[in-house]
Amino acid sequence: MDLLIDQFFNTAIMAQAWPILWRGLQMTLLLCLTAVPLGLLGGLLVALAGRVRALRWTVVALVDLLRAVPPLVLLLFLYAGLPFAGIHLPPFLAALLALGLNASSFYGEIWRAGIDSVGHGQWEAARSTGLGHRQTLTAVILPQAARAVLPDLVSNTIEVVKLTSLASVVALPELLYSADMARSVTYNASPLMLAAGLYLALLWPLVRLLARFEHRSAGSR
Amino acid sequence: MGGWERFVDTFFKPALIERYWPAILDGMWVTIQIAAAVVVTGLALGLLLAVIRAYRIRPLTWAIILCVDVLRALPPLVLILLAYFGLPNIGILLSAFTVLWLVLSAVLAAFTEEIVWAGITSIRKGQWDAARSTGFGFTGALIFVVLPQAIRLAIPPLTNRTIAITKNTALGSVIGVAEILNRATTAQSVEGNATPLAMAAIAYCLLFVPVVIAGRWIETRFGWRRA
Amino acid sequence: MSSSAARPILEVRKLTKRFGTVEVLKGIDMVVAEREMVFLIGPSGSGKSTLLRCCNRLEEPTSGHVIVDGVDLMAPGTDINAMRRRIGMVFQQFNLYPHLTALGNVSLALRKVLKQSRAQADATARAALEQVGLAARAGAYPADLSGGQQQRVAIARALALEPTVMLFDEPTSALDPELVGSVLSAMRDMRAAGMTMVVVSHELRFAREAADRVVFLDHGQIVEEGPPSQVLGTPTSERARAFIADLLH
């Protein structure tokens, strides 16, 4: 038991590692705050492009490819593969791009389902009052679509935040990278536990919120 | 050298493809083994937890919710590093393969529990009433009437989640499980060429594109009309 | 029909049911004899559905006794699941299992509760479907059946277990008017075959024609009971008079 505490919950080591973990957390947050909007926007583009008949199958194929390739493979390809073609991406950009592409494919499916869930009558009603296609989309359809798929959007956002930890593999000094550095220096798992605690603090509220959504949708059925 | 030749030489160099395709193929086999093991244990464990939760025994329910929440909130890579580098320090030595299998199974079990439980709670009370009125006890009603319907509701979301989690087998490369990505990065660092990584990407596509398409089909076709 | 010599099948004694502070049933005493068809009527909120659901303990009574064929359902040693098998129940919303065919719905309890072989259970289930005139639809899923057909499958599901008594909880309220007849005629056939039945329903015309006795409930108490001609024709209490006039316009 003492061994367990010493190896996983060593407060002295945690305190020692705190400064780099704090910087790592900030990097993680920066990555989240750029990758999530990028993915949401990219996903919206994917969903809208999928509605254009000429682009439909191209979009489906791209989305399926992105969903088939593990995000870590995509990231390593961008970070370690592209340099051989003369394209050098810094770790942050590589991570942002990989996360953005991956998230776009998933958010895209969610947006598509959301837009489909809004009845045709809404389009007709909006157009009949003189709104243009773009205005109808942004003012009438998307707000309803977002509400309809809010739980899925939250769920995927949790996944994107978790995926930021992959950036540690390309040496971006985000939370997990910092914690693992501290772990390898101290030969002690406590920094990793601390990082786990920080991820929990970040994501537990969202997970609970999601459980709330699920419970409510089940109750109303 | 023209642009096309350079592109081919960088990402699809024939000599390297020939040299490394057996290794990538071995990696695919390892990936398939882990994925299969994770799917079996993860789904079974998750289903079992959802069934236990249905009995609404307070302490058990709380324990399940706690574990599920933690496993949903933590990045799997954090769990993998914790288990792989942390456990040996307290005398628990697990192979990289075992760590990957256990962690991903636990994560899949957590999501499965949540999805199946949502299915169970969405079954109308009348179904329980009908089953109980024909003499089923709680367990009988759960197993023969409620669970078959709940699982059916759970299949589309569960398929997508299972695909996402089996793709995490690639995380094994970080702790040295000899799956596709691990073979590719090793080869790439030896050769100084992106071809092995491109091969890895293609190998994943070969494995998972059919699964993703099947998942899409299941999502639209599965389920039955409600009475 | 309701001769006093007939054996009591269902006895309700001093039954009360409270939801929180609301007393829904305030000491109900009721006896249903073998082969008798009793109609429970009353305004919504009178407690009639709760009373019915207490009869197989789908609703847990707060106090009192429910005795079915001599066995007290409230006694600690009673195997409630074994007793429920002998108390058929038909629900307003049918509650058919959507993942099973009509035959599967009827045979499930035969196979899993009574542990009959598949062949034996299927034969019993087919006979029960035959009784409600649906042998031809045995392979259909609930979603492919009309409301009236679904309710008759639900009746067959209860009948197949050869119950001692059948409880009907507003069996026709969820049906389109043109489908009500098929369900009522199935109930008429059961009555002719000698089934003991307790029916919560607003089908007063059917009650007048088929029931042996009508029980009027209001505010959790039995206000009136007697032959249909008496309770429906010349109700004594003001509440019953207003309620019946309302339903028969």
Partners of C37 in the β-ladder: C197
| pLDDT for the residue numbered B227 | 36
Average pLDDT, chain B: 91
Which two structure tokens, joined as six digits, stand for A211? 């459980």
Using a CB-CB cut-off of 8 Å, the residues of chain B touching A69 are 167, 201, 204-205, 208
Size of interface A-B (CB pairs under 8 A): 157
Which of these, C87, C79, C27, lies nearest to C53 by C-alpha position?
C87
Whether the per-residue pLDDT at C3 is higher than 70: the answer is no
pLDDT at C4 over 70: no
Residue range(s) in chain C whose domain bears CATH number 3.40.50.300: 8-86+163-247
| B contact test, residue of A78, A84, A186 with most B CBs within 10 A | A84
Nearest by CB to B82, from A192, A217, A219: name it.
A192
pLDDT in tens, B84-121: 999 998 889 999 999 999 999 999 999 999 999 999 99
Tokens read off for B59: 């302490």
> Three-state secondary structure along chain C?
CCCCCCCEEEEEEEEEEEECCEEEEEEEEEEEECCCEEEEECCCCCCHHHHHHHCCCCCCCCEEEEEECCEECCCCCCCHHHHHHCEEEECCCCCCCCCCCHHHHHHHHHHHCCCCCHHHHHHHHHHHHHHCCCHHHCCCCHHHCCHHHHHHHHHHHHHCCCCCEEEEECCCCCCCHHHHHHHHHHHHHHHHCCCEEEEECCCHHHHHHHCCEEEEEECCEEEEEECHHHHHHCCCCHHHHHHHHHHCC
Tell me how crowded residue A16 is: count the other CB atoms within 10 A of its CB.
Answer: 17
Residue-wise pLDDT tens digits, A173-210: 999 999 999 999 999 999 999 999 999 999 999 999 98
Question: Which one of C50, C52, C59, C93 would you mutate to disrupt binding with B, by most B Cβ within 10 Å of its Cβ?
Answer: C93
Per-residue pLDDT tens digits for A19-60:
999 999 999 999 999 999 999 999 999 999 988 888 889 998
Over residues A51-89, the pLDDT tens digits come to 888 888 999 899 888 888 999 999 999 998 888 888 899
Query: Cβ of A155 under 8 Å from any chain B Cβ?
Result: no
Considering only CB atoms, B174 lies closest to which of A7, A169, A217, namely: A169
Sign of CA dihedral C72, C73, C74, C78: positive
Say if the Cβ atoms of B227 and C143 lie within 8 Å: yes
Contacts with B, A 162-221, CB within 8 Å: 162-166, 168-169, 176, 179-180, 183-184, 187-189, 192-193, 195-196, 199-200, 202-204, 206-208, 211, 214-215, 217-219, 221
b/e map of B131-165 (b: 16 or more CB within 10 Å)? Answer: bbbbbbbeebbbebbbbebbbebbbbbbbbbbbbb
Nearest in space to C129 (alpha carbons), one of C93, C100, C154: C154
Q: Which chains touch A (3 or more CB pairs under 8 A)?
A: B
If you measure CA to CA, which chain C residue comes closest to B126? Answer: C95
Please report the pLDDT score of residue B6 as a whole number.
Answer: 81
- Amino acid residing at C124: T
Q: How many Å is the maximal CA-CA distance in chain C?
A: 56
Domain ranges of chain A: 20-220
Identify the CA nearest to C58 among candidates B169, B125, B162: B125
Give, as one character, the DSSP assignment of residue B55: T
- CB neighbourhood size of C178 (10 A): 9
Q: What is the mean pLDDT of residues C130-141?
A: 95
**B223 to chain C: closest CA residue:** C99
pLDDT tens digits, one per residue of B202-224: 999 999 888 888 888 887 776 54
- Cα–Cα distance, B161 to B166 (Å, whole number): 9
Give the 3-state secondary structure of residue A130: coil
- CA torsion B107→B109→B113→B115, rounded to 10°? 70
The terminus-to-terminus CA distance of chain B in angstroms comes to 67
Which DSSP letter does residue A88 get?
A: -
User: Are B37 and B104 within 8 A, CB to CB?
Assistant: no
ipTM of the complex: 0.90
Q: Is there a contact between C47 and C24 (Cβ–Cβ < 8 Å)? A: yes
Q: What is the pLDDT of residue B212?
A: 85
Name every chain B residue with its beta carbon within 8 A of the beta carbon of C91: 126, 129-130
Does residue B123 belong to the interface with chain A, where contact is any CB pair within 8 Å? Answer: no
Sheet containing C22-33, strands listed edge to edge, beginning at the edge strand earlier in sequence? C22-33, C8-19, C63-68, C71-72
CA distance B122 to chain C (A): 14
Report the distance separating Cα C3 and Cα C5, nearest Å.
5
CB contact under 8 A, B126 and C91: yes
Smallest Cβ–Cβ distance between B133 and the set C84, C112, C142 belongs to C84
Would you say residue C127 has pLDDT above 60?
yes
Amino acid in the structure at residue C26: K
Report yes or no: A3 at the B interface, CB cutoff 8 Å.
Answer: yes
Least confident of A131-135, B76-80, B84-88, B180-184: A131-135
Band (B148; pLDDT cuts 50, 70, 90):
very high
Chain B partners within 8 Å of A80 (Cβ): 185, 188, 194, 197
Tell whether the model's pLDDT for residue C249 goes beyond 70. no
DSSP A46-57: HHHHHTSGGGHH
What is the percent of chain B with per-residue pLDDT over 90, rounded to a whole number? Answer: 67
Q: Using CA atoms, how far apart are residues A124 and A132, in angstroms rounded to an integer?
A: 11
> Environment class of residue A49 by beta-carbon count within 10 Å: exposed (0-12), middle (13-18) or buried (19+)?
middle
Which is the CATH superfamily of the domain at A20-220?
MetI-like (1.10.3720.10)
How confident is the model at residue B222, as a pLDDT? 66
**Chain A residues touching B13 at Cβ < 8 A:** none
Q: Are C40 and C200 in contact (CB under 8 A)?
A: yes
Q: Mean pLDDT across chain A, nearest whole number? A: 90
List the chains bordering chain B where 3 or more Cβ pairs fall under 8 Å.
A, C
The whole-angstrom separation of Cα C234 and Cα C240 is 10
Sign of CA dihedral B14, B16, B19, B22: negative
B200 at the A interface (CB within 8 A)? yes
Q: Using only C-alpha atoms, what is the Rg of chain B?
A: 22
| pLDDT score for A216 | 65
DSSP state of A203: H
State whether C142 and B227 contact (CB < 8 Å): yes
Indicate yes or no: CB of C99 within 8 angstroms of CB of B149: yes
Of B73, B200, B212, the CB nearest to A73: B200
A1 — contact with chain B (CB < 8 Å)? no
SS3 readout for C177-241: HHHHHHHHHHHHHHHHCCCEEEEECCCHHHHHHHCCEEEEEECCEEEEEECHHHHHHCCCCHHHH
Q: Is residue B8 within 8 angstroms of chain A, CB to CB?
A: no
B82·A68 Cβ contact <8 A: no
Mean pLDDT of the C73-87 span: 93
Q: The dihedral of CA A83, A87, A93, A98: what is its sign?
A: negative
Task: Please return the burial class of C94, using the count of CB atoms within 10 Å of its CB with bins 0-12, 13-18 and 19+.
Answer: buried
For C4, other C-beta atoms within 10 Å of its C-beta total 5
- Cross-chain Cβ contact C82/B135 below 8 Å: yes
Strands C71-72 and C87-90: unpaired
**More confident: A195 or C247:** A195
Range of weakest confidence among A2-11, B107-116, B122-131: A2-11
pLDDT at A215: 67
Tokens of A41: 């926007």
- Residue C1 pLDDT grade (very low, low, confident, very high; cuts 50, 70, 90): very low
Instruction: Check if A88 contacts B (Cβ < 8 Å).
Output: no
A169 touches B174 (CB < 8 A): yes
- Nearest-CA residue of chain A relative to B203? A69
Q: Enumerate residues 81 to 140 of chain B having a beta carbon within 8 A of any beta carbon in chain C.
A: 124, 126-127, 129-137, 140
Q: Which pLDDT belongs to residue A219?
A: 43
Cβ pair A64:B209 closer than 8 A: yes
User: C105 pLDDT exceeds 60?
Assistant: yes
Cβ-in-10-Å burial (0-12, 13-18, 19+) of B176 comes to middle
Tens digits of residue pLDDT in B25-72? 999 999 999 999 999 999 999 999 999 999 999 999 999 999 999 999
CA distances to C94, C105, C170 from C146, rounded to whole Å, are 11, 15, 17
Sort out which chain A residues have CB atoms less than 8 A from B90's CB and list them: 3-4, 7-8
Q: pLDDT, tens digit, for every residue of B155-177?
A: 888 988 899 999 999 999 999 99
Which candidate in B134, B142, B225 is best for mutational testing of the C interface (most C CBs within 10 A)? Answer: B134
Spell out the residues 6+ positions from residue B137 whose beta carbon is closer than 8 angstroms to its own: C81
Phi, psi of B203 (to 5 degrees): -60, -45
CA-based nearest residue to B164, from A109, A143, A205 = A109
One CATH from 1.10.3720.10, 3.90.330.10, 3.40.50.300, 1.10.287.70 for B6-221: 1.10.3720.10
Q: Could you tell me the pLDDT band of residue A212, with boundaries at 50, 70 and 90?
A: confident
Please name the member of B69, B193, B194 whose beta carbon is closest to the beta carbon of A204: B69
Q: Report pLDDT for B129.
A: 96
pLDDT bucket at B225, cuts 50 / 70 / 90: very low
Cα B172 to Cα A131, A211, B30, B101: the distances in Å are 52, 29, 10, 9
pLDDT at position C132? 94
Q: What DSSP designation does B194 have? A: S
- Mean per-residue pLDDT for C21-45? 94
Fold of the domain spanning C8-86+163-247:
Rossmann fold (3.40.50)
Count of beta carbons in the 10 Å neighbourhood of residue B93:
7
As a three-state string, the secondary structure of B27-47 is HHHHHHHHHHHHHHHHHHHHH
pTM, whole model, 2 decimals? 0.88
Q: How many whole angstroms separate alpha carbon B57 and alpha carbon B43?
A: 22
